[in-house]
Structure 1
Amino acid sequence: MTSCLIKVCRLFCLTLTLPLKLMEILGLCGVYKRLFPLLAYNITFSYNDKVHKMKRELFRNVGKFADADGTLRLLEIGCGSGANFKFYPYGCTVICTDHNPHFEKYLRMSMDANKHLTYDGFLVVSAEDMEEVKDESVDVVVCTLVLCSVTDVKLVLQEARRVLKTGGAFYFMEHVVSDPSSWIYFFQYVFDPLWYYLGDGCTITRATWKDLEAAGFAELHIKYFEAPEVTLMIRPHIMGYSIK
């Protein structure tokens, strides 16, 4: 009965998104792609306040992956407006990547506010194809709230492994699909088609931990948690790191 209700409600939601789908096909979503970085920049402050404790826990040991001389090269996939900068260790060199060039204005603002880091440019590249980054050239790769919106999670994780040095770490924090027996799961599947457009490609029904488990890393350290006070449909989270 519940399964049928989910399908009926999801179909209704899909119907509501038809005008948005048509706009996407006609290439009329460009204006929203320019607007989305501004929305994301403003949401960043609220989200960081709510998960501050979890992010501090996540990044507490990043420094241990530095080279023998103490240098640490960190590449962030989908850096957006630089929400993670304040959690990175002093003196670390950060390479920023994002597929949306309109984030750069807000990214520069975060760079100016985090002088404890060194920045090695902003690359406008797809997370699935970072050919401008050399093989085994970074100590740490960071990816937070990004795997929900990429086209191919498996390819992104392959790219992360490619650019990481042996012994380097891939850090992640992502919202994921809830338990099928929960009401959160019900709302996630019903509203996923609409959320996709409002969130610039964000999908709220991904079991991302399965892709991490199958990615071929030597070690996987993962923690499941409920993000406090965030929107119901993105409350289930995972975080942790994998070692190449």
Structure 2
Amino acid sequence: MMANIRAIASNTKNSPDWYKRLFAWMMAHGNAKYEEEIADRKRALFAELHGNVLEIGPGTGPNLSYYPSDIHWIGIEPNIFMHPYLEREAEQIALDIDLRFGTAEHLEVEDNSMDAVVSTLVLCSVDNLAAALQEVIRVLKPGGRFFFLEHVAAPQGTMLRLIQHVIRPLWKTLGDGCHPDRETWLALENAGFERVNYQHFRANLPAIVSPQIIGVAVKKV
């Protein structure tokens, strides 16, 4: 299976139930190769998670095994057909979770209440990226951190960037809103965080979604 299933499935709130159910199944069964490849990066990224942690679009729970057992975890997942897979994963690793329905642009979480927010392969598909990042900032405590791992646009002027741009309308339709050429790092830099640290890398994925970024953004104190 293509490992970008995670990104494609993250914005299914307006899709028919058969579509949501299909992608939940595909996420649960089709991402093992990508997760194995990215494991060391995730392990390093999540090493210092603590306290109240909100995950946006947790899907079927591929990140749960990286979290310490003493955190208070809240997940906002718009596809209800992901929920049983995620709950099963949490039960297997004995992690208590608070799983809720919602979207990244409207987080049902109190202001200044989260020590950390996590997003992996989600921001490519949110309807309004700027609004989603403002919600992240709103719910983070002062000094709280936003941990992200996202596929992004290829560099300007490259053939891959041109292909991403040309294929975007079809890709969005087939991928339920996924933007293959979204400059997510620029949105992060302009969102109003105190600082944003990230690196670009290429994942072993189909070329369209192989450019990725990983990093941490910190809310102003």
TM > 0.5 fold call: yes
Q: Secondary structure at the match of 1:200?
A: coil
Quote the residue 1:51 is aligned against. 38
1:54-203 matches, within 5 Å, as 54-62=41-49, 66=50, 72-115=51-94, 117-119=95-97, 121-130=98-107, 132-203=108-179
How far did 1:199 drift?
2.5
Q: TM-score scaled by structure 1? A: 0.79
> Using a 3 Å threshold, how does the CA distance of structure 1 residues 44 and 113 change in structure 2: closer, same or farther?
farther
Counterpart CA distance in 2 for 1:198 and 1:141 is: 28
Q: Which consecutive segments of 4 or more residues in structure 1 shift more than 6 A?
A: none
Q: How many residues align?
A: 206
How far did 1:148 drift?
0.3
Deviates more, 1:211-220 or 1:33-42: 33-42
Counterpart CA distance in 2 for 1:184 and 1:41 is: 29
Q: Percent identity?
A: 38
Q: TM-score scaled by structure 2? A: 0.87
| Structure 2 unpaired stretches of 5+ | 1-13
Larger radius of gyration: 1
Contact 1:50 1:230 in 2 (8 A): no
How far did 1:29 drift?
4.0
Counterpart CA distance in 2 for 1:46 and 1:177 is: 22
Task: From the two aligned structures, give the one with the greater helix fraction.
Answer: 1
How far did 1:192 drift?
2.0
Aligned Cα root-mean-square deviation (Å) = 1.6
Letter in structure 2 aligned against 1:39: M
Quote the residue 2:208 is aligned against. 233
Letter in structure 1 aligned against 2:176: D
Counterpart CA distance in 2 for 1:105 and 1:232 is: 31
